[in-house]
Amino acid sequence: MTESLKAIAARYASALKAAEVITPSGDAEDRPTATDIWLYKLEDAVANIVKYPHRLDKKKPEEDGYDHFYLYNHRSCLSTIEDVQNASDDVLLEALGLGSVEEWGWLGFMIRDFAWFTLLAANWGLPSMRTSYGGNSTVTVDANEDDRGAQAAFYFLELMRERGVDVMADVRTSAQAYKEQNNLSEVEFVTWLRGHNELFYFVYTCESVNIRPEAKGGLSEVEYSADQRTRFRPVIRDAAERRRRNRNAPHTCDCLQRDQSISI
């Protein structure tokens, strides 16, 4: 199945590079979209490491650990906030120790920072689950791992659709071929998939998960004050616009040869 994931990546790699830049319009409240927030959050996550030099001096975590505040790759390329803003998605994802866009690094990031996203989404009145960081204030039960994974997969599929890529279609085709090749029932395949490729599992099963209703609801009142909206809205929108503009920015370096990435 790892080879299937690579094959899917190869098929939509050209589409990712050729996709038209889209800037979604906001609603009457002029709030950012969920995709806007995710695009902002990737840039923000890397910038928050780069702008605090003491974090760059930290020792690399052990192989069985993962540090959200460690720059795993591109340490010589990303020395300023401007470097981060002008970098491609691949560079930023790899810097966090995740896979490239073609390797579904975006989904890995969405799983990694899901709690942060729910907090921001709830503040903007977007549908969101409740997590340990906050999120939807109308419910008292935190979302479990399957809820979070499935919802992250939906956000990932939405981002890829914006870029002209239908990931789910390829996932279903590859899954069907694998089941037939190995004579597996649907139950057997899903059980096997959960233990062997979590990212593929979350995408493949997301439509069958009974997503919590609060994540599927409509827009609610924005929690931010008028002053906070005025200050935060352009920060998110500007970062999202940069990600759409720079997502495939040319980049060459030997960082990946010098720094070994740790995946989650």
What the block records as the tokens of 66 is 């993962």
CB within 8 Å of 58: residues ≥ 6 apart: 67, 69, 70
Domain layout of the chain by residue ranges: 2-20+30-256
- Token pair 């030997």 in the structure block, residue: 254
What the block records as the tokens of 110 is 């969405």
Beta bridge partners of 113: none
State how far the alpha carbon of 264 is from the alpha carbons of 9, 84, 193, 201, 210, in Å: 18, 22, 16, 14, 25
Q: Model pTM greater than 0.95? A: no
What are the pLDDT tens digits along the chain (264 aa)? 666 556 555 554 544 444 444 444 455 568 999 999 999 999 999 999 998 866 667 777 766 678 888 888 888 889 899 999 999 999 999 999 999 999 999 999 999 999 999 999 989 999 888 887 777 667 667 878 888 899 999 999 999 999 999 999 999 999 999 999 999 999 999 999 999 999 999 999 998 887 666 666 678 889 899 999 999 999 999 999 999 999 999 887 766 555 544 333
What the block records as the tokens of 103 is 């390797």
Q: Are 112 and 68 in contact (CB under 8 A)?
A: yes
Tell me phi and psi for residue 167, to 5 degrees. -65, -40
